[in-house]
Chain A
């Protein structure tokens, strides 16, 4: 498949170009340093040859030397070495900075997109994929940058070497012309042989890990059914495949590593063989022979750097190809210019012929949903699984926009409001509670400057004050990643306090009280409704106790509002509603 390989090379070169265009300054610095390193590597061999020729050989032949000659030799060797070291330092630091900057920059761009793009975009992409786009894919995309200047420097070095070789002795140059390309070709073959094997090993590693995860998560089932042996066999099977995969990787490495090392050694020997004849013929002198032989031992590594870059390019392209769609994704949520009504009591809500469908779904999630919620009232949305309740809740706080129809807050279409207006008016507690890796206070205030009394009051309303007081650092206790140090019920209460503390004019709870005692739930709703400025509350609910608190119930089935009215009214008039509510009551958690 030469054409495909050509395409990869072409695209790879474009990708290299992209890296250089993004970080031209750092690349230039790294390239200069690499070239210095390259030139000094050649120079060090030359200096050594000269020292042998002009200092060592005469001294040993004649039995005399001068302090001046020795000092000069020492100064030359050290001077070249210091310059070479400066080259290495510059190359490593600048190349590192370049690669890390690209990583950081793209990570910022990708996560910026995550924050910018609408929730509907998030819903279309699996979480795991988005996480690896921002992490491993970005890293893979720019990994090759670190050895890139080294490789470019190596090109410079080879250029100088070839010129120097030809100038010194064309016949010896011939050896270089054979050996350098051979090193390069061998390297290419090596990468070709390695990359599928490495990929397979990586894949098997992931599979072994998956089995371990699954099996340990299933510990109770495994143990209580006595299936430890079955699980061990399952794990062993994959672990042995991984072992064979790693041995296969080792076999290739095991062969190529010594070959790669032998090649410059054979080159040096060839130089000696031909060189000795040339010295005998008087075509060249011993010093030149030494410096060329020395050069061969020094050049092997830089040449391999070119191989590292080339070998890594396919991986880089694959990573970059996964990142590009995120960067190119459009769908910014447009905002209007209107300010929301403030000062009034609860917000008034209105839905007008709202339709919503998930991309690729056969039927609409919501269709023709129309109803009003009076300011300060409480509405319960009830319906069987999959009826569109959560989608409806998300529409009310503009997590998603309706396909057709409109959602009105105090008579204004949510889309006409300025950015940030909806979140100052409305608070939303989603089904899956999400806490940030922050303190309890930070999770409640979310950065807003609120006095502690207000935070404590909100926690009290959410019945979270008792347990927070018992935490080691109270409000300042860090809750861990996604609130890992708290129990499910505790997390939910903190999330409720987060919503309550804002004194929102509209509160939307999407089944956000499932892990909270009904009494606590009632207290929260009471606190919101009994306040001086009662909030409007929309609650997706299962519990009869919660539903009974609502002024009105919206009965949602298959994305349509089939009935509205008081709980008693619906119980009496809508058989489906009565059946569902009773069924939930049967399953009610009692203890």
Chain B
């Protein structure tokens, strides 16, 4: 594991929510745009919420119980003014909402795309395939969760908070004594909210975990359908499913209990507050400190306290998840890539590859995947002349794939350096080559030759954007694949399906070869596929590879010794060192690992059982 990846796992797990927010806001400049106006609108918006209690108070105290008896004119004025305020308030809330949604969504889209780009720059992506899924969630569900939170919880939270503030202020203006009474009732609840929110978080955490279990159990019944039937373990699988479903059900009920508790605690406290307001209000009223209208207005204002408490609990709960997701996205963004484009890192230093056939030179190169680990490659010192076709062979884990990754600069050596070029045009250290130049001249065809869910032509074109369909067809002809593509239902316009699923493994490799062919590199690195391919496709593939590698420097990570037999030169890697080098003919009779590899290949294809040693 690279050091950057380790950092990704262990970074500030203990960071507080506000620190995360600060860090995040620094990275989302879009977010701060126009924020003061939005907050001003928010404050105006909450004003609308206290209009009704004020109207009630005014109507009762001055409209009905005024000195001159009921005053219809006054009531009409109050009601109309208040109705006007309510309508204005609708407008203000609408404007605030739209602004808030626009800024947050714009900021999050920016965050999402920056994280996406950054993930591509990180080596975790290709070093640790199993972590790809979690990286996908950095740019999808983590950001989605933030967005959902902002749209539902965030806006509600802002309004609720404002509502509490404005209601408190209005209450204080009416009567500071009664305000204290109400606050005394609600303050313990505010403390309880934190506790309840934590309980809620735990309960819903369990639910999510159980959902995962159910998903896994269901996928066993679906993906494992042949195995379940072949071994007659329907009962057992059903029992496992049943258990997972039951546990999920119980977790849901448990979470519902906590939610219900949160809900009713607000209601209960509101009732207590109402009682307190009536009792204290009447007692204060006896002394003439308070009017009937004020007292009734307080009863209305207390209802404004109930919803925010319920909302706050859920906002806190969801907020914690959203913040955790936010933190994960920021951690990805702050992880420095192991390998950086010199054109970006230090533009003055960046160099272009010479316009000449490329050779490869390793100068005492060693590589370790982690500090202190066994070197995957150790002190490799060699030169490969331009236009040579070299096969790199060795046991699994010998270091041949590391070799390929260093040549293509997917990683940098721990010690020593790799250079490209030749003696006439000069040698350029690989870590100085601008990516634009490097990726154009050096192309790797990975083992699984990944295909996109698009047409054959689109996939070939990926090697060189702008290639026309006609050019793609010509390229396929030149590779001897004309008859193959003619056999596809829609020729080059045939869609290959997700990850190329509608083609066979061998056919996917054909497309990958064509893609490398249109890219027209000077140095090719081929990581040979290990999967068996049907013979007809295999013949095409061999032919196409011959055409592709013709006249180019080629390094093939060979899993088949037939490839080694055809190569100009063979490099034998063993335990991180190059132990043999020469042509197949030279090496096959020499004592050494190559002869052993060759013998085992002969055995498995000659039809005699291998010794059970």
Contacts and interface: CB of A to CB of B under 8 A. Distances in A.
Are A and B interaction partners?
A: yes
A231 B282 contact: no
Interface stretch (B52-60, B174-182, B382-390, B420-428): B52-60
A518 B599 CA distance: 13
Interface in B281-295: 281-283, 285-286, 288, 290-292, 295
Interface string A273-299: 101110110000010001001100110
Given A57-B292, A544-B607, A258 B79 contact: no
Contacts of A545: 603-610
Contacts of B292: 52, 56-57, 60, 286
Contacts of B613: 519
A242 B141 CA distance: 13
B532 A286 contact: no
Interface in B555-613: 558-562, 597-598, 600-601, 603-613
B52 A268 contact: yes
Interface in B56-101: 56, 59-60, 63-64, 69-70, 72, 75-76, 78-79, 82-83, 86-87, 89-90, 93-94, 96-98, 100-101
Contacts of A127: 219, 222-223
Contact of A522 (B245, B436, B612): B612
A279 B64 contact: yes
B267 interface: yes
B144 interface: yes
Contact of A424 (B119, B141, B232): B232
Contact of B597 (A111, A430, A590): A590
A107 B245 contact: yes
Nearest to B269: A81
Interface in A78-132: 78, 80-82, 84-85, 88-89, 92-93, 96-97, 100-101, 103-104, 107-108, 111-112, 114-116, 119, 122, 127, 130-131
Interface in A257-278: 257-259, 262, 265-266, 268-270, 272-273, 275-277
Q: Give the secondary structure class of B's interface.
A: helix
Interface in A205-228: 205, 208-209, 212-228
Given A115-B238, A225-B519, A589 B530 contact: yes
Contacts of A232: 113, 116-117, 120
A57 to B, nearest CB: 6
Contacts of A454: none
Interface in B524-570: 525, 530-536, 538-539, 558-562
B151 interface: yes
Contacts of A230: 465
B275 interface: yes
A228 B117 contact: yes
Interface in A357-386: 384-385
A184 interface: no
B369 interface: no
Contacts of B536: 384
Contacts of B499: 214, 217
A469 interface: no
Contact of B120 (A231, A239, A397): A231
Interface stretch (B184-192, B443-451, B470-478): B443-451
Contacts of A591: 393-396, 558-559, 561, 597
B12 interface: no
Contact of B101 (A247, A270, A584): A247
The number of chain A residues touching the other chain, given as a range, is 35 or more
Given A230-B465, A273-B79, A583 B538 contact: yes
B278 A217 contact: no
Contacts of A523: 612
Given A78-B271, A205-B140, A424-B232, A212 B116 contact: yes
Contacts of A517: 610
A55 B242 CA distance: 59
A243 B79 CA distance: 41
A246 B151 contact: yes
Contacts of B393: 591
A562 interface: no
A423 B435 contact: no
A543 interface: yes
B147 interface: yes
Nearest to A587: B538
A74 B534 contact: no
A580 B604 contact: no
A43 interface: no
Contact of A279 (B70, B267, B449): B70
Interface string A393-432: 0100111000000000000000000011011101110100
B603 A88 contact: no
Contacts, number: 470
A567 interface: yes
A2 to B, nearest CB: 30
Contact of A89 (B264, B610, B612): B264
B233 to A, nearest CB: 5
Contacts of B63: 272, 276
B410 interface: yes
A32 interface: no
B309 to A, nearest CB: 14
A141 interface: no
Interface in B186-220: 211, 214-220
Interface in B248-267: 248-249, 252-253, 256-257, 259-260, 263-264, 267
Contact of A218 (B97, B264, B450): B450
A420 B130 CA distance: 37
Q: Which of B69, B220, B604 has the most CB of A within 10 A?
A: B604
A195 interface: no
B225 A590 contact: no
B226 interface: yes
A59 B291 CA distance: 11
Interface string A539-577: 000111101110000000000000000010000000000
Contact of A588 (B102, B147, B604): B604
A585 B605 contact: yes
A325 to B, nearest CB: 15
A119 B225 contact: yes
B440 interface: yes
B47 interface: no
A240 B109 contact: yes
Interface in B95-124: 96-98, 100-102, 105-106, 108-109, 112-113, 116-117, 119-121
B272 A78 contact: yes
A11 interface: no
Contacts of B322: none
Contact of B140 (A209, A273, A424, A428): A209
B231 interface: yes
Given A70-B282, A101-B249, A246-B101, A399 B60 contact: no
A329 B435 CA distance: 56
Nearest to A84: B267
B408 to A, nearest CB: 5
A482 B136 CA distance: 20
Contacts of B89: 258, 262
Contacts of B226: 119, 394, 399, 428, 430, 434
A375 B117 CA distance: 61
Given A212-B116, A239-B113, A384-B535, A122 B70 contact: no
Closest 3 CB pairs of A and B: A226-B439, A254-B97, A250-B101
15 contacts: A64-B286, A78-B275, A81-B270, A93-B253, A119-B225, A220-B410, A225-B515, A246-B101, A268-B55, A273-B75, A277-B75, A286-B60, A399-B226, A519-B609, A545-B603
Given A226-B439, A242-B109, 7 more contacts: A59-B285, A60-B286, A60-B291, A63-B286, A82-B268, A96-B260, A228-B117
